[in-house]
């Protein structure tokens, strides 16, 4: 018979810890607060620590703030980064269960709640005969279990185009569930509702960097023909003016920018693109950071035009993170079906150079191989707009168009996802400091298998890919269409 005497006991109902309580209430609650074919309405009580403790309880919160959790878990059992999930017998009633979801950081507390729902329940849920019955998980005492998870990379980011997001709340909910903690939003115009979007992301502990062009012609970089010192100075003034007028007033965590590097040629008007873009970035960053100390700057750099002149790029201001894009074979490339061993070997060698460049500090790497915008039909934003508040009919329209594409991408990632894991293991073994692992694409409308696989490997790539694929595909949150 379903146990209906559970309670969530929390230490703090704010920020990511509030999100953890709300998430647990919704996802565990769907298994606890209703009985099949009975119209009886239960709730899952949520009370602050210090309340009466029932037979079955979830304890949710940061370790240092929770006296109750500290009585059940020793401090050395809590990882510096990451989280602990532990299911134990109630010391006062062996048939009862305590589920402990804790960490040092509030965002990691949320990830612990996610892991209980997305990892523990699929692995330890109810088996009836030969059938998996997750809805019956709480009909009997939960299996005793304890595990910690520690991320391979501190920063796990998504790059996307703002106008491809139909519902910003659902989008951010999904990326938080996948443990991404940085959102890079590219827009031609700052959305009217950007403050509330950023606030919503911050409630999960997700940083938001806003992207705009540094040195493009209107809406495009390929037409740049003048990168003289005079032209670069004019670009710098325009960049800083735009920042002061449009981006400084926002509550964003940083600025992401691209310049005139998304091209195949290596020179413009006889001048090295690598040398010129370094000059532009450094003169702009110097002035911008003098006015805004502590501002996070991310340089979205396409390798295609500068890979032969890394010595110039090595001189980029060390306060600027370089987020490298188009670095070679999948997983940097668009097509996850490609298996060109010679090209992949070259990609590994180039990755090694990037991990060593500038002493290995301030480096990020962008993976692709997922759904993108249709560049054959792409149009730029025609003016400021309200982002992520589209009607459900618009969202459904886009989802139907993308469905067949996502199905094919899913097949390709199952086929070639081991290549992603292989690259990530290489990065982990050779990095000099933390690397910002970024996934670029359009992810509105659900949690799709490729993005979930990539997110899991960004978090941890230590297991065999078959084990990672088994874990991820078993999660109920993965979109079936």
**What are 379-432's pLDDT values in tens digits?**
888 899 999 999 999 999 998 888 888 888 999 999 999 999 999 999 999 999
Gap between the Cα atoms of 88 and 75, Å rounded = 17
Whole-number pLDDT of residue 220: 62
Gap between the Cα atoms of 191 and 95, Å rounded = 53
Whole-number pLDDT of residue 3: 67
Q: Residue 218: pLDDT above 80? A: no
Gap between the Cα atoms of 22 and 38, Å rounded = 25
Indicate the average pLDDT of the chain.
94
Taking a C-beta distance cutoff of 8 angstroms, is the pair 120, 59 a contact?
no
Strands (E), 31-180: 46-48, 56-62, 83-90, 93-103, 127-128, 131-132, 145-149, 156-161
| CA-wise closest residue to 473 among 442, 458, 451 | 451
pLDDT digits (tens, 9 = 90+) for 34-81: 888 889 899 999 999 999 999 999 999 999 999 999 999 999 999 999
Q: Residue 9: pLDDT above 70? A: yes
Domains in the chain, ordered, with CATH? 6-149 (3.30.379.10), 156-473 (3.20.20.80)
pLDDT digits (tens, 9 = 90+) for 166-179: 999 999 999 999 99
Instruction: Among 13-27, 212-226, 272-286, 325-339, name the one with the lowest average pLDDT.
Output: 212-226
- pLDDT above 70 covers a percentage of the chain that reads 98
Whole-number pLDDT of residue 373: 82
Q: Residue 219: pLDDT above 60? A: no
Q: Indicate the pTM of the whole model.
A: 0.96
Reduce the DSSP state of residue 288 to 3 states and report it: helix
Gap between the Cα atoms of 219 and 212, Å rounded = 10
């Amino acid at each position: 018979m379903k146990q209906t005497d559970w309670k969530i006991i929390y230490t703090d109902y704010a920020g990511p810890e509030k999100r953890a309580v709300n998430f647990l209430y919704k996802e565990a609650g769907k298994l606890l607060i209703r009985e099949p074919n009975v119209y009886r309405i239960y709730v899952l009580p949520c009370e602050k620590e210090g309340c009466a403790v029932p037979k079955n309880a979830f304890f949710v919160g940061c370790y240092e703030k929770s006296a109750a959790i500290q009585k059940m878990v020793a401090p050395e059992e809590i990882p510096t980064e990451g989280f602990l999930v532990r299911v134990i017998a109630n010391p006062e009633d062996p048939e009862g269960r305590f589920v402990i979801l804790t960490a040092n950081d509030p965002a990691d507390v949320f990830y612990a709640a996610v892991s209980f729902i997305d990892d523990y329940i699929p692995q330890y849920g109810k088996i009836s005969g030969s059938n998996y019955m997750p809805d019956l998980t709480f009909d009997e005492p939960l299996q005793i279990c304890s595990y910690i998870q520690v991320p391979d990379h501190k920063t796990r980011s998504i790059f996307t185009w703002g106008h491809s997001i139909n519902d910003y709340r659902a989008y951010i909910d999904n990326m938080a569930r996948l443990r991404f903690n940085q959102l890079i939003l590219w827009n031609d115009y700052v959305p009217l509702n950007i403050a509330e979007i950023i606030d919503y992301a911050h409630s999960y502990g997700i940083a938001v960097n806003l992207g705009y062009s540094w040195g493009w012609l209107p809406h495009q970089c390929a037409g740049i023909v003048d990168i003289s010192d005079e032209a670069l100075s004019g670009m710098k003034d325009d960049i800083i003016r735009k920042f002061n007028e449009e981006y400084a007033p926002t509550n964003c965590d940083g600025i992401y920018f691209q310049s005139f590097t998304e091209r195949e040629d290596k020179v413009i008007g006889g001048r090295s693109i690598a040398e010129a873009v370094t000059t532009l970035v450094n003169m702009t960053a110097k002035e911008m950071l003098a006015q805004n100390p502590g501002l996070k700057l991310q340089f979205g750099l396409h390798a295609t035009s500068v890979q032969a002149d890394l010595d110039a790029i090595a001189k980029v201001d060390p306060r600027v993170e370089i987020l490298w894009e188009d670095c070679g074979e999948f997983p940097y490339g668009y097509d996850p079906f490609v298996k060109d061993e010679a090209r992949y070997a070259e990609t590994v060698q180039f990755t090694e150079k990037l991990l060593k460049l500038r002493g290995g500090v301030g480096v990020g790497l962008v993976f692709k191989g997922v759904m993108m915008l249709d560049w054959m039909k792409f149009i730029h934003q025609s003016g400021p707009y309200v982002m992520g508040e589209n009607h459900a009919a618009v969202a459904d329209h886009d989802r139907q168009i993308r469905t067949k594409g996502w199905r094919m991408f899913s097949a390709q990632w199952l086929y070639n996802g081991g290549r992603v894991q292989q690259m990530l293991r290489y990065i982990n073994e050779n990095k000099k400091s933390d690397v910002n692992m970024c996934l670029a694409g359009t992810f509105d409308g659900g949690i799709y298998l490729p993005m979930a696989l990539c997110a899991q490997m960004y978090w941890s790539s230590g297991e065999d890919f078959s084990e990672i694929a088994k874990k991820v595909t078993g999660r109920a949150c993965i979109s079936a269409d």
